Chains A and B, each alone.
Chain A
Amino acid sequence: MSASSPTIAQPRPAAGLQPPEPALPRLLSGIRPHGALSLDEHLAVHGPLPGGSGGRRRARERGMMLIAEVERAGLLGHGGAAFPTATKMRAVASARRRGIVVVNAAEGEPASLKDRTLLESLPQLVLDGAIAAAEAVGADEVIVCACESADMGIESVARAIEERTRASSERLPGLRLATVPGHYVAGQESALVSFLNGGPAKPTFTPPMPFERGVGQRPTLVNNVETLAHVALIARHGAAWFRELGTPTQPGSALVTLSGPIAHPGVYEIEHGASLSSLIRAGGGATARVRGALLGGYAGSWVGAAHLDGVALSNEHLAPHGASLGAGVVLLLSEDACPVGETVRLARWLADQSARQCGPCVHGLDALASALAELAGGIAGAGVAQRIDRLASLVARRGACGHPDGALNPLLSALDAFQAEFADHARHGPCAACSRPAEMPLPDRPPSDATARDRPSRA
């Protein structure tokens, strides 16, 4: 998937009142096809972030008010787990030691471009969110973590930090940029903390959770970059405004990376609960017949073509399909691709992305990938379904991080969504499409032992 310019969609659910003004875009307001919004341009679109004046006590009050507002807004994390943002903020705010804010834009997710789009195009909105969150939790330091493969995003944030620091009369927290190895699990919270503490970007055993003892042993708020961009807007417009879009349990908008056989792949801003078909229309329509969609990311789930028509993009609507919006990935698979071949390759890739720290993940994902390959090759023999079920049960909830569990989602849901295709391969072996080049991007970024010392941070 090549980086394409972000586009804005305004798909809305069938029911619901049309607000008087165009409700979207929010985050993507003012975005350009190329290049970042400067601080002045950003301020012209959104106006200034409230606050910034008064003493420490006043800042503290304002901070507590923002946390309450984020709670009323019902903002959920956009990194994949949809954890309530205010709960995390409150935990860091109530800790005795001074906190630190980590902006997670490590984005090892191959099918997602939203985090790097925010860094690249809207770095001042990102900094706004981080600065507001820092004030809310009483932190004096912000570290923006960008994936090392996001060259333009790194440039853009470095410039934005410089510009912000030069222009600002207000008291700013320390703003720093760190480039993080690009492998899949590097973006996991504890892996980021480990990396920022001088270790490899690999998950660690918890507790302590980052909000208890994170970077430099300090209570650490790790939020996805999009989550913080929403915080920047909630700080300006409040919870009631935020809730004007979305569903009661998942208010607001979301960035979604749409890819696959689509006229205009790219990053779209949708309202939670928008229909998948309206997103596809906004993307200029499918360019091939669609066999299924992977929703959420490579830790997400497949929904087969037969069920795609009625799909609405919110977690409550996706739950009956066993899926969630996750990190905002909507990857369409064309009829030309073989879903069995794609799943076999994905299974091997996910096994290779293991940080190789926990036995059940190392051995279990490897065994699963092998079982799926045998199944696809028609050489698995009877009982392979039970073997896969058993391996899945040995993998689930037995890693230090969520990777083994996440990896099960696309593999097991593929068996379900593409049942006929798997049955056909089990009986007759590989199909003609099996040898076609992979449709799903599987970047070659092996888990890295590199530490921050090998990659000096910037700004």
Chain B
Amino acid sequence: MSRRVRVNPIACEAHGMCAELLPERIVLDDWGYPVLEQGPLHGSQLEHALRAARACPTFALLVERERKRGRG
């Protein structure tokens, strides 16, 4: 089952830890909020993603199993 990163934009307060810990996938925008490069995570990237999620001070970075979305 593949996993991917997602940000809860309401919880995110632009601490920027995620871009330090997962630079392969995350850059910061003009205001310090993460811009994610999407796609399934494997190997070391998955490890880095999990580490970044644990390090986020507001728990705004999520590593999720793929799920069907977009209803509503």
Contact = CB atoms under 8 A, between A and B. Distances in A.
A367 B29 CA distance: 13
Contacts of B14: 359
Given A209-B72, A210-B72, A360-B29, A394 B10 contact: no
A211 B71 contact: yes
Nearest to A366: B31
Interface string A68-112: 000000000000010100011001000000000000000000000
A359 B9 contact: yes
25 contacts: A83-B71, A83-B72, A204-B10, A205-B8, A205-B9, A205-B11, A206-B72, A207-B67, A207-B69, A358-B9, A358-B10, A359-B12, A359-B13, A359-B31, A359-B32, A360-B33, A363-B30, A363-B31, A367-B30, A394-B30, A398-B9, A398-B35, A399-B9, A400-B8, A400-B9
Contacts of B30: 363, 367, 394
B31 A87 contact: no
Interface of B: 8-14, 29-33, 35, 67, 69, 71-72
A206 B32 CA distance: 23
A189 interface: yes
Contacts of A88: 71-72
A354 to B, nearest CB: 12
Given A81-B72, A210-B72, A400-B8, 18 more contacts: A83-B71, A83-B72, A204-B10, A205-B8, A206-B72, A207-B67, A207-B69, A209-B71, A357-B9, A357-B10, A358-B9, A358-B12, A359-B14, A360-B29, A361-B9, A363-B31, A364-B31, A400-B9
Contacts of B9: 205, 357-361, 398-400
Nearest to A84: B71
A385 B10 CA distance: 29
Contacts of A206: 72
Nearest to B32: A359
B49 to A, nearest CB: 18
Contacts, number: 55
Nearest to B6: A205
A210 B72 CA distance: 8
Contacts of A357: 9-10
A275 to B, nearest CB: 31
Interface residues of A, number: 27
Contacts of B11: 205
B11 to A, nearest CB: 7
Contacts of A87: 71
Nearest to A362: B31
Contacts of A363: 30-31, 33
Contacts of B8: 205, 400
A223 to B, nearest CB: 11
A204 to B, nearest CB: 7
A357 B9 CA distance: 8
A290 to B, nearest CB: 34
A394 B72 CA distance: 23
A269 to B, nearest CB: 26
B56 to A, nearest CB: 14
Contacts of B12: 358-359
A400 B35 CA distance: 14
Contacts of B71: 83, 87-88, 91, 209, 211
A209 B68 CA distance: 11
Contact of A360 (B31, B67, B72): B31
A359 B72 contact: no
Contacts of B33: 359-360, 363, 398
B59 to A, nearest CB: 11
Given A358-B10, A359-B12, A360-B9, A394 B69 contact: no
Contacts of B13: 359
A458 B60 CA distance: 37
A355 B64 CA distance: 26
A-B interface, 6 closest residue pairs, ranked by CB to CB distance from nearest: A358-B9, A359-B33, A363-B31, A357-B10, A205-B8, A400-B10
